[in-house]
Amino acid sequence: MSLVLFFGYLAGFLTTVSLIPQVIKMKKTKSADDFSLAMLLIWCSGIACWVGYGILMSAEPIIFWNLGTLLLAGSILGMKIKYTGKQAQETKPIAAKKNPLKT
């Protein structure tokens, strides 16, 4: 394996694996409040473009690791969509009941 290919795979591995703690945290907390939907959509589109670029350039590390990144980014996007509505419903304050004995 050439040094160039080694660094390609290493860089892809590190950047892809860096998303795993975030995916785990979002799954545990069931919260995606810190991510904007627009950013996630643009990010996933950019990753898809990297996959396309890798295919056109026959660059295996770019294809392989960006497919992995797209999978993880897609799961973050999915959790954002899933948890956004839930969070809003769960945090609504309960209407205070009036005490019938107080006037």
Domain boundaries, the chain: 29-84
Nearest to 61 by CA among 71, 72, 75, 51: 51
Could you report the per-residue pLDDT of 5-21, keeping only the tens digit for each? 899 899 999 999 999 99
pTM beyond 0.85: no
CATH number of 29-84: 1.20.1280.290
Rounded Cα distance between 1 and 59, Å, is 14
pLDDT band of residue 102 (cuts 50, 70, 90) is low
**DSSP three-state, residue 3:** helix
With 70 as the cut, is the pLDDT of residue 87 above it? no
